[in-house]
Chain A
Amino acid sequence: DIQMTQSPASLSASLGETVTIECLASEDIYSNLAWYQQKPGKSPQLLIYDASSLQDGVPSRFSGSESGTQYSLEINSLQSEDAATYFCQQHHDYPFTFGSGTKLEIK
């Protein structure tokens, strides 16, 4: 199975700041990566697909990038509503696998 190592497990940042969350794939996943946001008690929402494509309706302060097998989610100009847990998911090969999640707190 492809392992997705996500970091950090948690972070705290202030309104207006920029944060970066990373996922390292255990092998090449050829940009077949998505990022999701999940708020407590809610279902996940797709933010980014194909590593860097913004899902319709998602604010442009969210962006995705890649470098080799390292994938990053950047959130610019943090807003209070960005407080959530973020997950990466590879969909290159079965079984699809998720990162362990990053809990983002807004100070």
Chain B
Amino acid sequence: QIQLVQSGPEVKKPGESVKISCKASGYTFTQAGMQWLKQAQGKSLKWMGWINTNTGKTTYAADFTGRFVFSLETSASTAYLQITNLKNEDMATYFCARGDWELDYWGQGVMVTVSS
């Protein structure tokens, strides 16, 4: 069955970096794009952007340029989200989700806590 399994929760200090993984299984990794979403506690979902798993081309939402990087390790069917220079407002749960348009499979989410 199709699964997206993300890495575990993270606790970081402001200014540090975090790299979240999203390992796909049960389908051909390159057959669908991978999107990234942010959800602060009690809030709606915010689309961060997506990465074309065929070409590696990335598209970022305006609020997620500069400190946010999507990458791939295609041989391992894994997508990554790296956030540098963490800020308090980055504290949230981050989801990867499969799809070029609608999102049919989601990872379980990674809670990132930013605290000094």
By a beta-carbon cutoff of 8 Å, the part of chain A in contact with chain B is 32, 34, 36, 42-46, 49-50, 55, 87, 89, 91, 94-101
By a beta-carbon cutoff of 8 Å, the part of chain B in contact with chain A is 35, 44-47, 49, 59, 61-62, 95, 97, 101-104, 106-109
- Residues in chain B near residue A36, CB distance under 8 A: 103
Chain A interface helix/strand/loop/mixed:
loop
Contact B47 A55 (CB under 8 A): no
Given contacts A89-B102, A95-B61, A98-B45, 5 further A-B contacts (CB under 8 A): A44-B45, A46-B102, A49-B104, A89-B45, A97-B47
Contact A99 B44 (CB under 8 A): yes
Instruction: Closest A residue to B101 by CB, please name it.
Output: A91
Contact A34 B47 (CB under 8 A): no
- Residues in chain B near residue A95, CB distance under 8 A: 47, 49, 61-62
Q: In the docked arrangement, what's the CA distance between A36 and B95, Å?
A: 14
Contact A34 B61 (CB under 8 A): no
Q: In the docked arrangement, what's the CA distance between A32 and B106, Å?
A: 19
Q: In the docked arrangement, what's the CA distance between A44 and B99, Å?
A: 14
Min CB gap A2→B, angstroms: 11
- Residues in chain B near residue A99, CB distance under 8 A: 44
Q: In the docked arrangement, what's the CA distance between A100 and B92, Å?
A: 16
Contact A34 B103 (CB under 8 A): yes
Contact B102 A91 (CB under 8 A): yes
